């Protein structure tokens, strides 16, 4: 924002750019912008500070460390995930929030690898609570609620990581590997690699296949618990 005062009153010269004060949210937003442009390896407190036009030490008034910054960044991404719909059946609600999570992680692939290892913030806590409450509505015993929660989480996050890795991979390297493979000794593995190299794997279809299998297993377990 440019202000047009004509003197040094209030300590501001004519046309001097006035930056909004630092806040935790501004630091997190700058971290997100940095990762979007430079990738996760390019994230540093110095780079974030430069983006904000301040000294790196100023950031520590708002984030305790780079680790705390990463926690906040992952939670900011989690804030875009749709919560399970309490008006929908429990299995439909879980399917929709799983798809939403996958979509958000595909848009922010760097976050997939950090998803399970960072301290949950408010958005992650809200989502986790809502997913567990949805599983509770199914009538599943507590042990199966726990298994179901981790099965869904591992599938969604694992698929996002796998997809990101595939997107970043070099198709020529895979073809070279396939050409050098001993097909007589490893025929099924060669067939598997070729299936991927030739682009016959639809990531959406693969995701839905496993999601449907998990939900069907949970439905059968819930039906058995009610019998």
State the pTM of this model: 0.84
In a domain, 193, yes or no: yes
Count structural domains, the chain: 2
Task: Output the average pLDDT for the chain.
Answer: 89
CATH number, domain containing residue 35 = 1.10.10.60
In a domain, 76, yes or no: no
**Per-residue pLDDT, 18:** 64
* Span of 32-41, 110-119, 131-140, 194-203 with lowest mean pLDDT: 194-203
Q: Confidence band (pLDDT; 50, 70, 90) for 218?
A: very high
In a domain, 14, yes or no: yes
Co-location of 95 and 159 in the same domain: yes
**Per-residue pLDDT, 215:** 98
In a domain, 69, yes or no: no
**Per-residue pLDDT, 39:** 94
**Percent of the chain predicted with pLDDT > 90:** 73
Which carries the bigger pLDDT value, residue 20 or residue 52? 52
- Average pLDDT estimate for 22-27: 96
Question: What distance in Å separates the CA atoms of residue 190 and residue 74, rounded to the nearest whole number?
Answer: 37
| 140-153 pLDDT, tens digit each | 999 999 999 999 99
Co-location of 119 and 180 in the same domain: yes
| 155-173 pLDDT, tens digit each | 999 999 998 887 776 667 7
Give the residue numbers spanning the domain of 164.
83-226
* Contact between residue 118 and residue 74 where contact means Cβ atoms under 8 Å apart: yes
**Per-residue pLDDT, 175:** 80
**Per-residue pLDDT, 64:** 97
Co-location of 88 and 59 in the same domain: no
At a CB cut-off of 8 Å and minimum separation 6, what does 72 contact?
24, 27, 28, 31, 63, 121
Co-location of 34 and 88 in the same domain: no
CATH number, domain containing residue 105 = 1.10.357.10
Structure tokens at 140: 């599943």
* Contact between residue 118 and residue 108 where contact means Cβ atoms under 8 Å apart: no
């Amino acid at each position: 924002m440019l202000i047009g005062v004509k003197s040094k009153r209030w300590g501001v010269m004519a046309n001097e750019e006035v930056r909004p004060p630092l806040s935790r949210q501004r630091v997190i937003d700058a971290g997100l912008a940095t990762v979007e442009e430079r990738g996760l390896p390019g994230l540093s407190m110095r780079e974030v500070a430069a983006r904000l036009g301040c000294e790196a030490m100023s950031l520590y008034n708002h984030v305790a460390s780079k680790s705390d910054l990463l926690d906040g960044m992952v939670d900011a991404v989690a804030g875009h995930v749709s919560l399970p719909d309490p008006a929908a059946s429990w299995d439909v609600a879980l399917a929709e929030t799983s798809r939403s999570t996958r979509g958000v992680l595909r848009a922010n692939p760097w976050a997939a690898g950090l998803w399970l290892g960072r301290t949950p913030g408010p958005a992650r806590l809200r989502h986790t609570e809502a997913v567990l409450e949805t599983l509770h509505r199914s009538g599943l015993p507590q042990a199966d609620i726990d298994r179901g929660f981790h099965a869904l989480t591992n599938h969604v996050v694992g698929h996002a990581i796998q997809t990101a890795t595939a997107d970043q991979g070099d198709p020529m390297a895979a073809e070279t590997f396939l050409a050098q493979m001993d097909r007589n000794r490893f025929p099924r593995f060669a067939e598997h690699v070729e299936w991927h190299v030739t682009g016959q794997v639809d990531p959406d279809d693969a995701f839905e296949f496993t999601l449907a299998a998990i939900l069907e297993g949970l439905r059968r377990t819930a039906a058995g618990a009610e019998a």
